[in-house]
Amino acid sequence: MTLLEWQQKWLQQLRGERGLAELTLKNYDRLITADLSELEQQTITDPKQLRVPVIERLLVGWRRSGLGERSIALKLSAWRTFCQFLVESDALDDNPATSVSAPKIPKRLPKNLDVDSISHLLDLPHDDEIAIRDAAMMELLYASGIRLAELVSLNRDDIDHRMMQLRVTGKGSKTRIVPFGRCAEKALKQWLKVRQAWLVDKPELALFISKRLQRISPRTVQQRLNHWGQQQGIVGDLHPHKLRHSFASHMLEASGDLRAVQEMLGHANLSTTQVYTHLDFQRLASVYDNAHPRARKK
């Protein structure tokens, strides 16, 4: 069987045994089809001809064609999966793609708002019930760094006003306790009065509700935040994750306590939290000058 024939068998296996979605299968197909056609022009049609130099030449070609690091990593991943299938089918002795290193993908720094922009954003009118609710949601997002899904799943009983903390159910149904500050507490108390007036005597667990007296949806929260971002003149789209990023960045800049921020964000791995450690160069230089024994002035 030729490599092109093996490719079709591979896609059938992915569809049948692994049950991958059609879009995923199309992506796998697209990622290596052009390469297989190129190899065929080089008379490389037998799986046994696939060796490390062949995969390395493909990678060089991807770079020359202008593909970025992420696209190259995706193509290499597809080739590793395909070659592993050939190994398991006894069409290939070992997987040559695993010996080729994928390019290191730089982590994109999360975009966040500065403290002044946050203060301006949260200065909403207090004579409108929807604005009072929206202010409470935004104050809580920024005060605690919780995710959008965590915000909408909050129940009234998850708020401990005396201790000023939340009981949050995050990814993997893991529960954590997160503190919040006095501004969020004030906004919450204002919202709870409105919430009570809306509900009257209707029982409802959800902390944040819509005008239909139902738990607010993630989509509605996104729309409301985007609305206020435009109203308050915030540059760029405003979304819940931007408030989460801002919380993490400001907490780290002020405290430098990566472990504490990790706990509050609900990150399983510290490496996920480390992406927020993008302090500006002047601050880094100042810390270095004051801390390093060979930099301190006498």
Reply yes or no on whether 171 is catalytic. Answer: yes
Instruction: Render the burial of 203-228: b for 16+ CB within 10 Å, e for the rest.
Output: eeebbbbbeeeebbeeebbbebbeeb
Tens digit of each residue's pLDDT (9 = 90 or more) over 46-87: 999 999 999 999 999 998 888 888 888 889 989 999 999 999
Check 57, 156, 241, 278 and give the catalytic one. Answer: 241
Q: What is the pTM of this model?
A: 0.56
97: which 2 tokens?
Answer: 């793609």
Indicate if 195 belongs to the active site.
no
pLDDT tens column, 166-216: 898 877 778 888 888 889 999 999 999 999 999 988 889 999 999 999 999
Give the contacts of 78 (CB within 8 A, at least 6 positions apart).
27, 28, 31, 32
- Active-site annotation holds for 189: no
Q: How confident is the model at residue 281 (pLDDT cuts 50, 70, 90)?
A: very low
Question: What is the four-CA torsion angle of 89, 90, 93, 96, rounded to 10 degrees?
Answer: -20
Of 177-181, 237-241, 259-263, the one with minimum mean pLDDT is: 259-263
Token pair for residue 241?
Answer: 């994750």
Q: Which of 30, 171, 174, 227 is catalytic?
A: 171
